[in-house]
A and B are shown apart, each in its own frame.
Chain A
Amino acid sequence: MTTVERMPQRDGVLDVDLRLRDVDAAFAMGLEEAGVTVLFGPSGAGKTTVIRALAGLERIDAGVIRADGVLWDDGGRGHVPARRRRVGVLFQDRALFPHLDVAQNVAYGLRRMPRPERDRRVAEVLEACAVPGYERRRVRELSGGEAQRVALARALAPEPRLLLLDEPFTGLDQPTRRRLRVELRALVQRTGVPALVVTHDRDEALALGDRMVVLIGGRVHQVDPPAVVFDRPGDGLVAAAVGMDTIVTGRLVDGSPGAVDVGPTRLVVGTPRGGMPGEVAVCLRAADLGIAERGSRRADEATNVVPARVTAVEAEADLLRVRLDAGFPLACLLTRHDARRLPLEPGREVDAVIPRSAVHVAGIAAAD
């Protein structure tokens, strides 16, 4: 899916097609409508490298970054320095100036602005970022969540045309993360500044993003709304990145795009996907699957029923993860209620109940 063709210059769009060290990423995002694009991928995928290149903190080796028709970087002579890009950056470690107070931090990027106007702007963005009246606080005294809000206020104060947020919630506890996630989403909508948010957290990607750019191994594998990426990952690597529990290699049955063979087992697919000859990645979410006593369920037009043997049972916080051998390894999440009525000791023979709609067939990821 790396075939996002080189785009001509377009107004109101950030066109990215950059090569920098191990990263070779191409995608585009709108600069005119407020919205959150999530740059999602496992650690080491090159997400921070992309952010740094967009911010102008690093020159690209080759390719092109173009914003609103203006060339930002082409790996050669064409270069707009970071300070002229009007991009707001929220660094992973906040990078607040430790010797300045909150107001001085937030006002840092406000150039040639008369004092009263500057004070008003500072108060305004602090208010918007839910830290009103923090002007005279010292940076050292801020909690993690407050520092994050102040850093966001500092990035927003000079009215950037693009916000880049690098793992904005690192180092915060779970409840704070959840609260800030909601706040951030509302704030981005309100200010109308488009944002690119880097994260490797699936919940964050789903909660924040309007669009999702999936970066794996330095390449863009899929660009889609988060729900689509999670339900229909474009290839096996994306499937793994979004937490598909079972990803096995299968083969589409000749002449019938609606069925796929995984080893000796044939599965019927809910939404047939043609045009993928040969090997495919068959992806299943554990939460979509069920287990029944051997012979108690019959396959019908909505369900595959596959004989399987229990290999392991692992307790999770609220659920039980049952590992099965159905000719291929399969994981299945059960509620304790459902599990109580089933013979789940390792070695027992059962039936795996796999809804057709839960069988997702994706391409094998290009090995480049």
Chain B
Amino acid sequence: MDWEAIGVSIRLALATTAILLVIAVPLAAWLAFTRRRWAVVVEAVVALPLVLPPTVLGYYVLVALGTSSPFGRWWQETTGSTLAFSFAGLLVASVIYSMPFAVQPLLAAFAGVDRRLLEASAVLGRSRVHALARIVLPLSRAGLASAAVLTFAHTVGEFGVVLMVGGNIPGETRTVSVAVYDAVQAFDYETAGRTSLALLAFSLVVLTATYAIQRHGVGLLVRR
């Protein structure tokens, strides 16, 4: 069993989830509460990874991360290393690829919060950021949990983007899905089977635990 690949997958999924929640909360809040017409365009862009084949997305990310793009060059000048075929590059691709899985549950949850409460917050002299932290997020716990679980699960399961952007460097960009693919290509069905089973079991445990908390343990999360 390729423990190294499992480690990479889990690290990648955790980091992606953490980064995405930081990005997706303000983004979803803006989308939920803005009155700007072009918000639909932003929404469409966020949803793009749902319809684009991973190879297409991977291709664009690869080009954007490469040293021929301004961003790739800036990264190389600042850090001294390239983004393509590195864990950092894989993380960037992963964040983009899983964006809709974080934004959409949050957007749905935020949109479900009674506008009247936000108006009450405003007339009580509080800023929107304060209302987001004190009112919207606490009332959107289920949406937050869904966003985190879906992002995590989706990242663990991604394959095409990883192959395009990360390549297959053990301990760096070689994730479980790629490891399984390699094993099958090498007719090593035994390793492929064991790694797959481990991934399956792990995913099932994580999902079950999360749904259990959502369904029965909300009391654990409620303040006092």
Contacts and interface: CB of A to CB of B under 8 A. Distances in A.
Interface string A34-71: 00000000000000000000011100000000000000
Nearest to B125: A83
B119 A108 contact: no
A154 interface: yes
Contact of A109 (B116, B124, B138, B139): B124
A111 B135 CA distance: 16
A290 to B, nearest CB: 50
Given A99-B138, A99-B222, A108-B121, A83 B127 contact: yes
Nearest to B135: A97
Interface string A61-103: 0000000000000000000011111111101010111111000
B125 A86 contact: yes
A96 B139 CA distance: 13
B139 A99 contact: yes
Nearest to B122: A82
B190 interface: no
By secondary structure, the B interface counts as helix
Nearest to B224: A101
A255 B130 CA distance: 69
A234 interface: no
A81 B131 CA distance: 15
Contact of B116 (A86, A93, A154, A158): A93
B28 to A, nearest CB: 19
Nearest to A57: B119
B205 interface: no
A40 to B, nearest CB: 22
Nearest to B114: A95
B117 interface: yes
B122 A83 contact: yes
B22 interface: no
Given A83-B125, A83-B127, A158-B125, A95 B119 contact: yes
B126 A83 contact: yes
Given A97-B135, A98-B139, A99-B222, A109 B119 contact: no
B142 to A, nearest CB: 12
A55 B125 CA distance: 11
Nearest to A55: B123
B194 interface: no
Given A95-B114, A99-B138, A108-B134, A56 B126 contact: no
Contacts of A109: 124-126
Interface size range on B against A: 10 to 19
Most buried by A among B120, B122, B134, B222: B120
B128 to A, nearest CB: 9
Contacts of A97: 117, 120, 134-135
A243 to B, nearest CB: 31
Given A91-B116, A99-B139, A154 B123 contact: no
Interface string A213-234: 0000000000000000000000
Size class of A's contact patch?
20 to 34
A99 B122 CA distance: 17
A88 to B, nearest CB: 7
Interface in A177-191: none
B82 to A, nearest CB: 47
A57 B126 CA distance: 13
Contacts, number: 60
Contacts of A86: 125
Interface string B129-156: 0000011001100000000000000000
A87 B123 contact: yes
Nearest to A107: B124
Contacts of A95: 114, 116-117, 119-120
A52 to B, nearest CB: 8
Nearest to A88: B123
Max chain A C-beta neighbours (<10 A), residue from B121, B122, B125, B223: B125
A165 to B, nearest CB: 12
A84 B124 CA distance: 9
Given A95-B114, A95-B117, A97-B117, A89 B123 contact: yes
Which of B119, B124, B135 has the most chain A CB within a 10 Å cutoff? B124
Contacts of A96: 120
B137 to A, nearest CB: 10
B123 A82 contact: yes
Contact of B124 (A81, A93, A154): A154
A168 to B, nearest CB: 14
Contact of B123 (A56, A98, A100, A111): A56
Given A93-B116, A108-B126, A108-B134, 14 more contacts: A57-B123, A82-B122, A83-B122, A87-B123, A88-B123, A89-B119, A89-B120, A95-B117, A97-B120, A99-B139, A99-B222, A109-B124, A111-B126, A158-B124
A-B pairs with the 9 shortest C-beta distances? A109-B124, A95-B116, A82-B122, A95-B120, A89-B123, A83-B125, A99-B138, A83-B122, A82-B123
Interface of B: 114, 116-117, 119-127, 134-135, 138-139, 222-223
18 contacts: A57-B119, A57-B123, A82-B119, A82-B123, A83-B122, A83-B124, A84-B125, A89-B123, A93-B116, A97-B120, A99-B138, A109-B126, A111-B125, A154-B120, A154-B124, A155-B123, A155-B124, A158-B125
